[in-house]
Structure 1
Amino acid sequence: MITLKGVTLRRGARVLLDNTSVTINTGERVGLIGRNGAGKSTLFALLDGSLHEDAGEFFRPAQWRLAQVLQEMPETSQSATDFVISGDTALLAAEEEVRLAEASGDGEELAHAYMALHDAGAHDAQARAQSLILGLGFKTTELNNPVDSFSGGWRMRLQLARALMCPSDLLLLDEPTNHLDLDALVWLETWLKRYEGTMLVISHDREFLDAISTVTLHLDNEQLTRYGGNYSVFEETRAQQLELQQNAYAKQQDRIAHLQSFISRFKAKATKAKQAQSRVKALERIERLAPVLANAEFSFEFKEAANLPNPMLIMDNASFGYPAPAEAAAGTPATVIVRQVTRSVLAGQRIGILGANGQGKSTLVKTIARVLGCISGTISEGKGLHIGYFAQQELDVLRPDETPLEHMVRMAKEGLANGQSGREQDLRSFLGTFNFSGDMVKQAVGTMSGGEKARLVLCMIVWQRPNLLLLDEPTNHLDLATREALSIALNEFEGTVMLVSHDRSLLRSVCDEFWLVSRGGVADFTGDLDDYQRYLLDEAKRNRDSLKASLKSAKEPLKPAESVVAAAARKAPGKLKGLARDQGRVEQALLDLQKEQHSLESRLSNPLAAADLATLGGRMSEIAEELAKLEERWLTLSEQIDSARQTAIS
């Protein structure tokens, strides 16, 4: 177990934990919550050994293996699969043991090293890594892409997969859902529920915490308080405690007032002096309770829009995709993601946009926001349409070298005031309502935290008084209090909301209808979010089964009479015939290696001399590597055959 006894923890001159004690038992799944800046990440630094307590005692079992998501952006040309495999520290240690044993020439040492390599899971490391990568939303065609070829958010997903790949007794996850879509989040929840070690998770997603945590640690006022149960249980228990504390404080204040009144009335009277003095002593003995001081809650509201066109916009046979208009003008060919959408968006609608990763949710929103142009068809806007757009990547709408005040002044100069005052003092005052006050209004945006950038984008949107809100993952980096403020503000907003979010609590509280972006189209989703979660799990299972079937077929001989590919090959041009022949050769090689592998596994199950163990272990390692290369080659040929078959069959 992990214990903190009277621990004090400082960062610089600031005290984050003050003489606090708590116990985390083996196997518990803990949600760590608290306002931004309270010290949650600093507590993780204590747990992972990169920071030490300033006072008190901290204990974590020395033999526990630790896994956590590194926060730095990975910069490497390794393939996605190899990068995630390298997170398996036990496997890397076993590989190093083999290397040293081979260099020493000691047969017995080499035999033990190869057995350790097998026990570390070398035979299925690639499959385990790719299962994690696919679960977090990557495509099968991206498994071997270089890490450097992915954007920042996708690289952080690979960091998460790498942490999950690492065998561990203690797993630390700091905001693991920030870069995930809802489908990847549902998959992660399922994975974490099966995790058998001790886990601590920092998150501001209440439904995620409810799903995966069994204990809640609340970091507040330099103290850690342990609550049994998930976030909802914590919230209810905490509210009851605060109510009892406030009632006790009120009763104590009444008693103090009564004693003080008696003392004031009778301290000058000789006949009552003794009683008054006893009241003074009683008053001094009272252990004063502190009043319940609620943290200053952040709140805001969308001002009434100048007008509400109805319909807001009409999409007529519109197709969405890339590139942006400027690139298209330069001759870059278009890639269509969502096709032939005919829909209307009406005043007052609350639309949640659902869809698995890569299906085109953000592309749809960007096109409506005029960031991208229609590939074909039209989008007709209602007269007086005024869009407020929250981009998934805040820096798509923010300039890192500008200050919040400069952003507001620029909007005013660009004529985006929509009835608001553009005077600098009024802009400063408006920024203050979003907690940008004093020197913060002149701080460069690039130096701000993710939560501060998100608040600035919200501030800019509210100031423009939009009548259509396009929100693409607005809760990334927002704490629970700000998410709650956003939910309240959206429910009071009189215009139209189109929302993409992995925060199911926000979707449930704001949206009354859902659109599903899937397989190149947009359709109404008639169920609720629980139905959608089941849909995502079914889709994930279907994809896994499809991948397993592909790998399984790679291990079976090709049956020309039953094979669509072979049938197409008989009447196909030479290219397809050649691909089919190559695939047949790969399949035969896979079969031969698998037969040898099964034979060696049978021999290894019996007692053998050290030299024989070393020889067989070495051959098993070679076979595992050869099988991985052949399976990769088979998948590549399958993709090439699918492409050629479309031409051949048509």
Structure 2
Amino acid sequence: MISLKNISLRRGTKLVLDGISTTIHPGEHVGLIGRNGAGKSSLFALLAGRLHEDGGEFFIPAQWRMAEVAQHLPDTDESATAFVLAGDTRLQALQQRLAEAEKTGDGMHIAQLHADLQDAGAHDATARAQALILGLGFKPKELEQPVNSFSGGWQMRLQLARALMCPSDLLLLDEPTNHLDLDALVWLEAWLKRYSGTLVIISHDREFLDATTSVTLHIDQGRLTRYGGNYSKFEELHAQQLVLQQASFERQQEKIAHLQSFIDRFKAKATKAKQAQSRVKQIERMEKVAPVLASADFTFAFQEPANLPNPMLAISDAAFGYTSEAGTSTTILQGVSRTVLAGQRIGILGANGQGKSTLVKTIARELQPLAGKLTEGKGLRIGYFAQQELDVLRPDEHPLQHMVRLARDLGADAPAASREQDLRNWLGSFNFSGDMVTQSVGSMSGGEKARLVLAMIVWQRPNLLLLDEPTNHLDLPTREALAMALNDFDGTVLLVSHDRHLLRAVADDFWLVGRGQVGTFDGNLDDYQRYLLDESRRLREAAKAADAAAQPAPAATAPTIDPREARRLAAQARQALAEKTKPLKKELEKIDTRMAQLGAEKAALEEKLATPLPPADIAEAGKRLKAVGDELDASEERWLELSEAIEQLTQAAEA
């Protein structure tokens, strides 16, 4: 297990962690949360061995293997598959030793190393590496492309796949969802749920944390508090704790005031001096309860649009794509006919690479439609937050310069309040106060840059918001502020996001971008996740069929089989498969039923523990909750084993 006892950690002169203590048990999946700058990354660096504690005791088992995502972009011409495969450090070391043994001709050593390679999974290592790559959104044709041919975001996906490939007892993931689309995020969730080692995740995606973690560590003002449960459970328990803490603080302040009143009245009287002094010592010995400081959560609001054209936008039989420098056009979406009305809130869904950003860029006027017509409502004013918007900011300039230039570029269309002091005040409402107004953008965090982009968009008073992954660099409080502001916005919103909480909070309608079309998606996000799994299966089958078609035709000398005989053999094969899988499927059904019962019991116990109970009842419910959780974990593991066994038997029968 990992043990931290009274750990203090400084970064420069700043005390980041102040006497924190906690324990992380083997196999726990932990969410590490806190505001930007709270010390999450510093604690990660301590766990990874890149930093050392300034005080206290830190213990991690020496034999534990650790994996984390490298934050630098790789610079290599090796293929994506080879790059990810190299993440299996044990396999690479054994292969290196085998090469050396073969040079010396040591037969016994060579035989042993072959056995070790078999144990290390060498026989299916390439398949496992490629499954990780495909799961994170790459196409089959990209498996052998050089790493340097991919953009920075896709290279970071390869770094993530490489970390997942590494055999590990401890896996550290710092914002793993930032470069993922929703389809890749759903796949990663499923993979992490099956991970058997100890997992520590920093993330600002609440639904991702809910799905992958069962323990929450909260860092606030240099202190760390452990909560049993995922992020939603943390929110509930933390709110209760704050209420109790504030009540305890108020009671203690009343007691201190009462004691102090006695001291002030009688400290000068000889007959009461001893009692007054006793009360002074009583106050000094009292362990002070800290007040609940009302943290200044970031909030903002969109200004009321000057007008609301209706419809905002009409798209008629349009084709969207891009044109290369050579003048060649590539169509991604065609036959698009949609109408955007005033006040609509539309979530744009679609698997990776299907054309969501192309659609948004065309509406934002950054790309021209290849065919058809886009008709804008009179007075349409677009506010566009692009995925690469942060890269458009000028790193050598400060926020005020960005605002002054924006006001100058808009000219007559700029809002009336565009004097420098007005712009300073505006930046202040987005938490850019004091020296931050003149701090270079290049020295700011990703969250601060995203906040500046939001400030620039909101200032323009748009009536149509196009948001393409706006939350990538925002912490949880800022994401909540964005959701609240969007819900109060009078205009129209088109939102592309892998943050399911934001989509649920904001979107009333969904468009689905896929297979070259844009249509209405009738369903919720849970339905969409099932659609993604089906679409992923369809693409795998299509790739398999394409590979089969590319194989050379078999020789014409194969003997012919009578059709009746072929049907008889096929029926025999189906019967044999049914007999083999029947007991497995029967056990699977029993486990499904039991898991449903356990899930209901677990929910009831958690709800029970959230209410005031006698100590004996708390102990009994806690003990039963632990037993239910253990049985549920074992059932899920067996369910996966049975499902895999059935799939393997089915594939073998079809081969």
TM-score above 0.5? yes
Q: Is the 8 A contact 1:394 1:453 kept in 2?
A: no
Letter in 1 for 2:52: H
Q: Distance in 1 between matches of 2:546 and 2:278?
A: 88
Task: Give the deviation of 1:94 after TM superposition.
Answer: 1.2
CA deviations on 1:334-386 (whole Å, 9 max, x unpaired) are 11111111111000000000000000001100110111111111111111100
Identity, % of aligned pairs?
Answer: 69
Letter in 2 for 1:188: L
Q: Distance in 2 between matches of 1:295 and 1:400?
A: 30
Which residue matches 2:538?
Answer: 542
Which residue matches 2:648?
Answer: none
Q: Determine which of 485, 490, 514 is the counterpart of 1:518.
A: 514
Aligned positions of 1:229-628 closer than 5 A = 229-265=229-265, 279-323=279-323, 331-395=326-390, 397-415=392-410, 418-547=414-543, 558=554
Q: Distance in 2 between matches of 1:281 and 1:127?
A: 70
Q: Is the 8 A contact 2:315 2:337 kept in 1?
A: yes
DSSP-derived class of the 2:239 partner: helix
DSSP-derived class of the 1:211 partner: helix
Task: Give the deviation of 1:218 after TM superposition.
Answer: 0.8
Which residue matches 1:600?
Answer: none
Which residue matches 1:215?
Answer: 215
Q: Distance in 2 between matches of 1:561 and 1:384?
A: 73
Q: Is the 8 A contact 1:314 1:343 kept in 2?
A: yes
With 76-85 and 274-283 compared, the bigger mean Cα shift is at: 274-283
Q: Is the 8 A contact 1:418 1:465 kept in 2?
A: no
With 44-53 and 477-486 compared, the bigger mean Cα shift is at: 44-53
With 11-20 and 64-73 compared, the bigger mean Cα shift is at: 11-20
Letter in 2 for 1:483: R
With 233-242 and 417-426 compared, the bigger mean Cα shift is at: 417-426
DSSP-derived class of the 1:415 partner: helix
Q: Distance in 1 between matches of 2:528 and 2:260?
A: 62
DSSP-derived class of the 2:108 partner: helix
Distance 1:418 1:280, change over 3 A: same
With 552-561 and 124-133 compared, the bigger mean Cα shift is at: 552-561
Q: Is the 8 A contact 2:415 2:459 kept in 1?
A: no
Which residue matches 2:79?
Answer: 79
Distance 1:90 1:283, change over 3 A: closer
Which residue matches 2:573?
Answer: none
Which residue matches 1:124?
Answer: 124
Q: Is the 8 A contact 1:473 1:501 kept in 2?
A: yes
Distance 1:108 1:279, change over 3 A: closer
Letter in 1 for 2:20: T
DSSP-derived class of the 2:101 partner: helix
Which residue matches 1:629?
Answer: none
Q: Is the 8 A contact 1:98 1:117 kept in 2?
A: no
Letter in 2 for 1:495: G
RMSD: 2.1
CA deviations on 1:428-447 (whole Å, 9 max, x unpaired) are 12112112223322233233
Q: Distance in 1 between matches of 2:89 and 2:27?
A: 21
Letter in 2 for 1:527: G
Q: Is the 8 A contact 2:390 2:453 kept in 1?
A: no
Q: Distance in 2 between matches of 1:67 and 1:267?
A: 63
Letter in 1 for 2:343: G
DSSP-derived class of the 2:176 partner: coil
Distance 1:57 1:282, change over 3 A: closer
Which residue matches 1:637?
Answer: none
CA deviations on 1:498-548 (whole Å, 9 max, x unpaired) are 000000000000111100001001111110011111111222233334445
With 441-450 and 98-107 compared, the bigger mean Cα shift is at: 441-450
Letter in 2 for 1:450: G
With 334-343 and 260-269 compared, the bigger mean Cα shift is at: 260-269
Distance 1:16 1:258, change over 3 A: same
Q: Distance in 2 between matches of 1:73 and 1:284?
A: 55
Task: Give the deviation of 1:279 after TM superposition.
Answer: 4.5
Q: Distance in 1 between matches of 2:118 and 2:374?
A: 58
Structure 1, unmatched stretches of 5+, are: 563-650
Task: Give the deviation of 1:257 after TM superposition.
Answer: 2.4
Letter in 1 for 2:82: D
- Whether 1:187 aligns to 2:187 is yes
Task: Give the deviation of 1:103 after TM superposition.
Answer: 1.5
Q: Distance in 2 between matches of 1:549 and 1:198?
A: 39
Q: Is the 8 A contact 2:318 2:371 kept in 1?
A: yes
CA deviations on 1:278-328 (whole Å, 9 max, x unpaired) are 5445444433221111322111110111111111011011111113xxx5x
Distance 1:116 1:153, change over 3 A: same
Letter in 2 for 1:76: T
Q: Distance in 2 between matches of 1:213 and 1:556?
A: 48
With 553-562 and 195-204 compared, the bigger mean Cα shift is at: 553-562
Q: Is the 8 A contact 1:470 1:497 kept in 2?
A: yes
Letter in 2 for 1:48: A
Task: Give the deviation of 1:8 after TM superposition.
Answer: 1.4
Q: Distance in 1 between matches of 2:127 and 2:529?
A: 25
Letter in 2 for 1:339: Q
CA deviations on 1:594-619 (whole Å, 9 max, x unpaired) are xxxxxxxxxxxxxxxxxxxxxxxxxx
Letter in 1 for 2:458: V
Task: Give the deviation of 1:117 after TM superposition.
Answer: 2.3
Q: Is the 8 A contact 1:388 1:470 kept in 2?
A: yes
Q: Distance in 1 between matches of 2:348 and 2:7?
A: 46
Letter in 1 for 2:227: Y
CA deviations on 1:155-208 (whole Å, 9 max, x unpaired) are 000100111111111111000000000000000000100111111010000000
DSSP-derived class of the 1:244 partner: helix
Q: Distance in 1 between matches of 2:555 and 2:254?
A: 89
Distance 1:283 1:554, change over 3 A: same
Aligned positions of 1:197-216 closer than 5 A = 197-216=197-216
Letter in 2 for 1:398: L
Which residue matches 1:574?
Answer: none
Task: Give the deviation of 1:559 after TM superposition.
Answer: 7.9
DSSP-derived class of the 1:516 partner: strand
Q: Is the 8 A contact 1:360 1:517 kept in 2?
A: yes
Which residue matches 2:58?
Answer: 58
Q: Distance in 1 between matches of 2:510 and 2:38?
A: 36
Which residue matches 1:43?
Answer: 43
Q: Distance in 2 between matches of 1:294 and 1:182?
A: 34
- Whether 1:142 aligns to 2:142 is yes
TM-score when scaled to structure 1?
0.82
Which residue matches 1:604?
Answer: none
Distance 1:369 1:83, change over 3 A: same
Q: Distance in 2 between matches of 1:161 and 1:382?
A: 45
DSSP-derived class of the 2:410 partner: coil
CA deviations on 1:413-469 (whole Å, 9 max, x unpaired) are 112654242211211121121122233222332332211111111010011110000
Distance 1:475 1:104, change over 3 A: same
Q: Is the 8 A contact 1:420 1:464 kept in 2?
A: no
Q: Distance in 1 between matches of 2:312 and 2:49?
A: 55
